[in-house]
Amino acid sequence: MVDADAPSTEVVPDQPPRSRPIRRVALIGAAALAAVLLVVGILYGPTMWQVFQQRNTTISTPAQVAGLELDQSDDAKSTAEYIRDAIASSTSLSKSVGGVYAAPGDKSRSVMFVGGTAHLWKPTDVLNDVFKTITDDTGGVRNIRDIAPGSFGGVMRCGTTATQDGDMPVCGWADHGCVAVALFPGRSLDDAEKLMRDFRPVVQRRN
């Protein structure tokens, strides 16, 4: 006979700790976040590193560049200012400069140069917008081709735009820290490309 007053000997199965499901969810969430960060790093890591490297950039207009002299006349300053305003209308620049450079005794082949600094996420798009802005009245820049940007990197391109005196070469470069453009009246496209490569290491600096 079973004693009704005897203590119960029924065995209750162990219950799993409630913290286990929470911990499992946390681990899954952490793994998913790590996977997302890995993908973002692969896609945007190189660009972010370039932005960091190119952030401290300056553009100047020294007295001489590639054998050409900075024209200090009022007409030259007015021309540079006009082009600089055109560039400023297409992209937000923290600082911009401009100048007209002429060979001694020959102002007919003056180089009109304008550049500015900014944090640019998509340098190629910015350069394309600048090309469209400064040649909007002449049908834009045609026959565009990429040229070697040199040690500063980024993108450098040259093309031609129509003028009353014939096609005029237009060249420019852009990276994550600056954008610059130059007009080369009276010169061939090949000459313009060479001069643009000579200009960049003189007028651009990185701290």
Q: Given a cut of 90, is residue 86 above it in pLDDT?
A: no
Q: Given a cut of 60, is residue 49 above it in pLDDT?
A: no
SS3 179: strand
Q: How high is the pLDDT of residue 55?
A: 62
Q: Given a cut of 70, is residue 173 above it in pLDDT?
A: yes
The reported pTM is 0.72
Percent of the chain with pLDDT over 70: 71
Q: What is the pLDDT of residues 87-102, one digit of tens each?
A: 887 778 888 999 999 9
Q: What is the pLDDT of residues 121-159, one digit of tens each?
A: 899 999 998 998 876 665 678 889 999 999 899 999 999
Q: Which residues of 102-121 are buried (b: 16+ CB within 10 A; e: fewer)?
A: beeeeeeebbbbbbbbbebe
User: Residue 100 contacts by C-beta under 8 Å, 6 or more apart in sequence?
Assistant: 70, 71, 76, 77, 79, 80, 110, 111, 112, 113
Helix (H) or strand (E) holding 142: strand 142-147
Q: Given a cut of 60, is residue 198 above it in pLDDT?
A: yes
Between 31 and 24, the higher pLDDT residue:
24
